[in-house]
Amino acid sequence: MVAYNSINHSKATNYTNARVEGVDTDKRDVFVAAVPRNDMVNGKINFKSLSKYSGTALSASVPHIVPITSNKFMVLWQEVKKVTDEPFKNYIDDGHLKYVLCGWSGQTARQRTNCSLFSIIGSAAGRESK
């Protein structure tokens, strides 16, 4: 299983060597992709969306997977808000760590949950000091 974030490519109007046009590339949603553990060679990849930030002021940090048991994982990410176009300092975390419990094949065992006052991003990742 792998957790990743991506833009909504269905809204893209043009792809160039340097950028994607027609979509806000700062709006990243969180996904997991999983292959069935009992058939890793021929198994179908299961893609699951865990968040939707298109059309909002928020985006997602890079997600992290934390193993809970051999068959259960927690996918964590931080909600962030863009505040400036200055490179490397353009996001602040909104104080909301999000997490979802997933099984090995990507099925969610629990709805997306807020965990206030915790953060997985630091100043090196562009977090503004308050």
Residue 46 lies in a domain: yes
Q: What is the pLDDT of residues 51-65, one digit of tens each?
A: 888 778 788 888 999
Residue 37 lies in a domain: yes
Q: What is the pLDDT of residues 4-40, one digit of tens each?
A: 888 777 778 888 887 788 776 667 888 898 887 777 6
Residue 130 lies in a domain: no
3-state secondary structure the chain: CEEEEECCHHHCCEECCCCEECCCCCCCEEEEEECCCCCCCCCCCEEEECCCCCCCCEEECCCEEEECCCCEEEEEEEEEEECCCCCCCCEEEEEEEEEEEEECCCCECCCCEEEECCCCCCHHHCECCC
pTM, whole model, 2 decimals?
0.71
The domain total for the chain is 1
Q: Which domain holds residue 91?
A: 2-125
Residue 120 lies in a domain: yes
Residue 40 lies in a domain: yes
